[in-house]
Amino acid sequence: MKSDERQVRLNRKNGVGFLTFPRLEALPFLRHVFSTRLGGVSQKEFSSLNLAFGRGDPNENVLENYRRLCAAAGFDATSLVSSAQVHRSAVRRVGRQNRGEGFTKPKPAGVDGMVTNETGVTLVTHHADCVPLYFADPVRRAIGLAHAGWRGTAARIGAETVHTLTREYGSRPEDLVCVVGPSIGPCCFEVDSPVFEIFAAMGDLTPREWIREDGGGKYHIDLWEANRRILMRAGVPEQNISVSGLCTRCHPDLLFSHRATGGKRGGLAAFLALREADDEN
């Protein structure tokens, strides 16, 4: 892993590999991970810790992979609440009544981000190049998790998550701690002119500083920096934002990447939950 070890850490337990972020590890009131492809039961292109339903891997394999990761990382497998990956900017408040959605209950439509201030609820978003955004409010004890693909990034789902935490729980942006998790990096996210033009129009973020023109109508876009600037524009202090710097496409032995495999792949997931008071350590 070429990423800065101060920003992301690879853990192994019971044969299962998962990533954590020191910035969030410093907050004792929450539990978090980002999955890898290590330690599951899936085969072939899904090998081995595939957490994506509906891609051809038997559901029993995917569910077993969730059970293994939850056991290794300390999550209650019955507490999971999933987002719907529709590449929009809708953020939803969830609680204990939503446990199992996307797993044993239908998944909510049109939602790419979730917030909660309840224990016993684990937020889960799904990834295979798109950016996971983690949010923690150590003052109000509230958390948020968002799936920011390029469309969600352009729609500023990061800012919408900040606004939702403020509206629902009284969070102040200056109190939030945020992590921009592993995704396709600026090294590998090449786009054509129509996508470039969408990001180039985000003038308040000075896009020319994080877009590289390659010629021939091709551009490389830094989604990490775009999301970092979106969070800062929403009021999160620069020093409160950590960027993992880990590119999914550059690490095929560790992470699934949609672009690296032409779509023949499993899926990753981000997990975030509030610990019970007696579980903080």
28-41 pLDDT, tens digit per residue, is 999 999 999 999 99
Residue 1 has what pLDDT?
A: 37
6-33 pLDDT, tens digit per residue, is 599 999 999 999 999 999 999 999 999 9
Residue 6 has what pLDDT?
A: 59
Calpha distance 5→205 (Å, rounded): 28
Is the backbone of residue 14 left (phi > 0), alpha (psi -120 to 50) or beta?
A: left
Domain presence at residue 110 = yes
Domain presence at residue 14 = yes
Q: What is the CA angle 190-193-195, rounded to 5?
A: 70
Domain presence at residue 227 = no
DSSP 281: -
In sequence order, the β-bridge partners of residue 18 are 11, 35
Q: Global pTM?
A: 0.97
DSSP 247: B
For the record, the structure tokens of 210 come out as 């994080």
Nearest to 82 by CA among 60, 112, 48: 112
pLDDT band at 81 (very low <50, low <70, confident <90, very high): very high
Domain presence at residue 79 = yes
In sequence order, the β-bridge partners of residue 80 are 122
Cβ within 8 Å of residue 249, ≥6 positions away: 129, 184, 185, 187, 188, 257, 259, 260
State the CB neighbour count (10 A cutoff) for residue 233: 16
Domain presence at residue 194 = no
Average pLDDT over all residues of the chain: 96
Give me the amino acid identity at 22.
P
- Return the exposure string of 85-97: e unless at least 16 CB atoms fall within 10 Å of the residue's CB, then b: bebbbbbbbbeee
Domain presence at residue 119 = yes
Q: Which strand ranges, in their side-by-side order, compose the sheet holding 211-215?
A: 190-192, 218-221, 211-215
With beta carbons less than 8 A apart as the criterion, state whether 267 and 52 touch. yes
* Domain encompassing residue 14: 5-189+239-275
Residue 4 has pLDDT above 50, yes or no: no
- CATH number assigned to the domain comprising residue 250: 3.60.140.10
Domain presence at residue 280 = no
Number of domains making up the chain: 1
182-233 pLDDT, tens digit per residue, is 999 999 999 999 999 999 999 999 999 999 999 999 999 999 999 999 999 9
Domain presence at residue 37 = yes
